Structure 1
Amino acid sequence: MRVEVSVDGGERELRSLYVWLRQDPAVRRGAQVALTQAPSAPDQMGTLADVLQLVTDNAWSAASFALALSTWRQTRPGRRSITVQRGATTVTVENGSEEELNRLIEALERSDGDDGGAEAQEV
């Protein structure tokens, strides 16, 4: 399963989340985490790193991932919103409420749609 994560606040915030997730044993155990460049429109230039990409395996725990995102978000000034996409499903965590995190976990645990299975590609 492939999951893409973006954060408002620019590349600095995205890199902070990247480091946080790479240091989290539960996330690291079940997913490859990489910074990737999202496809840009033909008339736009992309930045060095636009999204985080996680490619998960059987040890994946959506709940552990959601907890890691929530914990990272609480450490950031301004409580950045986080958008998580899996296939055609997108969930945005705005306030970090229990309802939002449960919605995120449910979306990640659903096995619908083609979300790819290739390895994460570093930028």
Structure 2
Amino acid sequence: MDLRISTVDADGQELKSLYRWLSRDGMLMRHAQVSFEQADRPGEMGGVFDLINVLLADASAVAGMGSLAVALKTWRGTRSRPAAITIEHNGVIITLTEGSEEEIRSLLDRLSPPAEGEPGDR
């Protein structure tokens, strides 16, 4: 499972801070590879933006998603004015603006892989 995480902040410092936080989270790193990358902006020639790529192994994707959700919520709690966090996977885009329990539950529901025997569509 490949997740692309970005933030909306003018200088990119919030995204860099989030990357450092995630890459130092022991529980998340048991289930994921985290990297800081640049990607092309869709529809713009030469435009790029920074993002965090989180790659979860299929076998541990559920545990990894839980660890990611906890890490995101904890990081947001350390910020005086946390930036909105956008997470994308297979065309599904979720934006966390508050980090509330409802947003975290929605993140987990919409991005977690289906349980064995469930249909693949969410």
Q: How high is the TM-score relative to the length of structure 2?
A: 0.82
2:56 is aligned to 56
Cα distance, 1:17–1:44 mapped onto 2, change above 3 Å:
same
4+ runs deviating over 6 angstroms: none
How far apart are 1:44 and its partner, in Å? 4.2
* Runs of 5+ consecutive residues of structure 2 not aligned to the other structure: 115-119
Measure the CA separation in 2 of the matches of 1:42 and 1:4. 19
Partner SS state of residue 34, structure 2 = strand
Q: How high is the TM-score relative to the length of structure 1?
A: 0.81
2:117 is aligned to none
Measure the CA separation in 2 of the matches of 1:2 and 1:92. 16
Residue 40 of structure 2 contacts residue 46 of structure 2 at CA under 8 Å; is this kept in 1? no
% identical aligned pairs: 32
Aligned residues: 111
2:22 is aligned to 21
* Runs of 5+ consecutive residues of structure 1 not aligned to the other structure: 114-123
Q: Does 1:68 align with 2:71?
A: yes
* Deviation by residue 1:53-103 (Cα, 9 ceiling, x = unmatched): 011112332121111001101111212110111111111111111110000
Measure the CA separation in 2 of the matches of 1:105 and 1:24. 18
| Aligned ranges 1:103-122 → 2 under 5 Å | 103-111=106-114, 112=120
1:36 is aligned to 37
Normalized per residue, which structure has more strand? Answer: 2
The one of the two structures with greater contact order (alpha-carbon pairs below 8 A, sep at least 6) is: 1
